[in-house]
């Protein structure tokens, strides 16, 4: 571990006001351990070191080493999630940088993954293929990588983009001239260049959510802003083979007018669930870069995600619905597991609970059943550490005995749901509430990657080197910051300032530290 990384790591641990002891032995243990049971969380302090290592183990130990297929969830049986594979590819390099595994181990796992995905059959058939036109089906069989058959699975444009986020990350990270790393870069290039973004523009110039084989064809809805699909357009714009034209980004942002507004006392570009403010940010460093829309608002997407975190926190503080546990250090709504489909009376009102569902609050849509998810917090760590740190520590202290296990935080919990029922998605613990039984790959991914981005900026630093990401951003009209354009005085807080100052909910402006 470098002195710089070790120093940053120690600062993070101090910031959490916790011991720096991780409870693990030497790095070499990671190369041989199986699913080793951990000590009871209440007997061990939580540090970002420990959280990172435990969450990394999820990807290293649940992903198939021969194919790279990552399960959608664990320990419940599930098909592979292509988005989870993208997060796994990113996780391996994080493991190398933190000395959880060796570079050789990461290279071998990454190369096996890319070889497998490149060779998977493509075609318009309903079965026996993994994708079509370069896009992959949302879920694949863990046995052979072809389209999963548990239910009707769509060819997913956004999940393919999340997979490609990891693929291009691997291309930029494994930069050595040896045979294996050269092959990684070449395979990543082939997989990315095969994607036909123009074919997915069924209603030009926007991109369809996806496609079904046979008569159903394209899904009747398109990706228009603002949500998690920024990465779809950035990757499409950067393509050297089937590039989108800049008018696609203009069509995407044209819908921002419907999403910009005041939410819980803060004015920003809204999307109700936190994952929409996090996924693209896993790989793209939006600090100090702006497109035309953000220039017009004197803001940027990084600062916007910070405001989204503050809006959710303010919602929890206000807690008009009266959910148990909500407050300044108990918040975080996103897509996650939930107790299940139940109708129950809470505080004299009939409430509808759901299983896996996208939860959140915004100006156009809201759904909340009292279920909170650690990934909503930790995926926002780089944006607003000053409110995420206390919240995650409170979550760990109050619920860690049940919520924090082998691979870090289980997917979600609901303090309100204390009804004596059988939940298929978890368990109800008296005086505690409902606790999820599974980890979900696309929730674990942001926890690990954004924790690393907060600690060292590692994933962002690697992806700033990727020519396709850079070209996609430039074609979308982004300038400033690390993109190399001349900086102008936009009034936007610098990256260092934005991670420490807090927006005032009443004025929607950055509070500046008081001068001495």
Q: Cis omega before residue 446 (within 30°)?
A: no
- For residue 386, give both structure tokens: 């000053």
Q: Reduce the secondary structure of 251-286 to three states and give it as a string.
A: HHHHHHHHCEEEECCEEEECCCCHHHHCHHHHHCCC
Alpha-carbon distance of 140 to 70, in angstroms, equals: 9
Spatial neighbors of 87 by CB under 8 A, at least 6 apart, are 59, 70, 162, 166, 282, 441, 442, 444, 445, 446, 448, 449
Q: CA torsion sign, 460 to 462 to 463 to 465?
A: positive
pTM score, whole prediction: 0.88
Distance CA 275, CA 373 (A): 11
Considering the domain 48-483, what is its CATH architecture? Answer: Alpha/alpha barrel (1.50)
CA distance 401 to 40: 7
Task: Count other C-beta atoms under 10 Å from residue 45's C-beta.
Answer: 18
CA atoms of 493 and 504, how far apart (whole Å)? 14
For residue 82, give the nearest of 114, 35, 57, 127 by alpha carbon: 114
Element (H, E) at 100: none
Tell me if 464 sits within 8 A of 173, measured CB to CB.
no
Token digits of residue 42: 């209440």
> How many whole angstroms separate alpha carbon 183 and alpha carbon 515?
54
Domain ranges of the chain: 48-483
Residue 20 has a pLDDT of: 28
Q: What is the mean pLDDT of each run of 10 residues along the chain (516 residues)?
A: 41 34 28 33 78 98 98 98 98 98 98 98 97 98 96 97 98 98 98 98 98 96 96 98 98 96 96 98 98 97 98 97 97 98 94 98 95 98 98 96 97 97 97 98 98 98 98 98 61 35 38 31
So what's the pLDDT on residue 11? 39
Cα–Cα distance for residue pair 104/100, rounded to 1 Å: 12
What are the distances in angstroms from CA 17 to CA 4, 14, 390? 20, 5, 10
**The pLDDT value given to residue 150:** 86
Beta bridge partners of 136: 131
Candidates 73, 72, 69; CA nearest to 89 is: 69
pLDDT score for 502: 39
Tokens at residue 137, please? 């089906």
């Amino acid at each position: 571990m470098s002195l710089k990384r070790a120093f940053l790591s120690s600062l993070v641990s101090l910031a959490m006001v916790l011991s720096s002891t991780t409870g693990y032995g030497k790095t070499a243990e990671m190369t041989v351990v199986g699913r080793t049971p951990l000590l009871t969380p209440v007997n061990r302090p939580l540090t970002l070191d420990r959280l990172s290592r435990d969450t990394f183990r999820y990807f290293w130990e649940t992903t198939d080493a021969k194919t790279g297929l990552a399960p959608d969830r664990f320990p419940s049986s599930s098909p592979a999630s292509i988005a989870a594979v993208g997060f796994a590819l990113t996780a391996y390099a994080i493991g190398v940088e933190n000395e959880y595994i060796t570079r050789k181990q990461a290279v071998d796992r990454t190369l096996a993954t890319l070889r497998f995905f490149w060779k998977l059959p493509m075609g318009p058939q309903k079965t026996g293929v993994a994708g079509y036109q370069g896009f992959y089906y949302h879920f694949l069989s863990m046995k052979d990588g072809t389209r999963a058959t548990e239910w009707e699975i769509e060819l997913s444009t956004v999940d393919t983009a999340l997979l490609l986020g990891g693929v291009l990350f691997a291309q930029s990270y494994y930069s050595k001239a040896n045979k294996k790393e050269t092959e990684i870069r070449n395979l990543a290039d082939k997989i990315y260049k095969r994607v036909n973004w123009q074919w997915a523009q069924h209603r030009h110039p926007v991109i369809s959510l996806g496609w079904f084989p046979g008569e159903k064809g394209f899904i009747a809805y398109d990706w228009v802003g603002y949500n998690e699909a920024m990465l779809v357009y950035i990757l499409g714009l950067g393509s050297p083979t089937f590039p989108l034209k800049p008018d696609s980004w203009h069509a995407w942002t044209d819908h921002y007018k419907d999403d910009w507004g005041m939410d819980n006392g803060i004015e920003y570009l809204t999307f109700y669930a936190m994952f929409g403010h996090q996924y693209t940010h896993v790989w793209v460093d939006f600090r100090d870069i702006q497109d035309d829309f953000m220039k017009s608002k004197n803001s940027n997407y990084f600062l916007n995600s910070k405001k989204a975190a503050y809006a959710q926190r303010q919602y929890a503080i206000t807690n008009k619905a009266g959910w148990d546990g909500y407050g300044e250090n108990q918040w975080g709504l996103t897509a996650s597991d939930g107790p299940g489909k139940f109708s129950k009376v809470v505080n004299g009102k009939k409430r509808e609970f759901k299983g896996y569902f996208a939860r959140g609050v915004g100006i156009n849509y809201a759904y909340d059943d009292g279920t909170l998810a650690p990934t909503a917090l930790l995926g926002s760590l780089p944006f607003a550490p000053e409110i995420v740190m206390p919240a995650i520590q409170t979550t760990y202290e109050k619920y860690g005995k049940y919520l924090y296990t082998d691979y870090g935080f289980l997917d979600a919990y609901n303090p309100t749901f204390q009804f004596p029922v059988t939940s298929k998605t978890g368990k109800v613990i008296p005086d505690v509430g409902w606790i999820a039984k599974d980890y979900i790959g696309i929730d674990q991914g942001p926890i690990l990657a954004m924790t690393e981005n907060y600690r060292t900026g590692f994933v962002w630093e690697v992806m700033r080197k990727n020519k396709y990401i850079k070209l996609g951003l430039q074609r979308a009209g982004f300038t400033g910051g690390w993109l190399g354009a001349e900086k102008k005085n936009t009034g936007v807080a610098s990256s260092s300032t934005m991670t420490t100052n807090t927006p005032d909910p009443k004025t929607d402006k950055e509070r500046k530290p008081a001068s001495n």
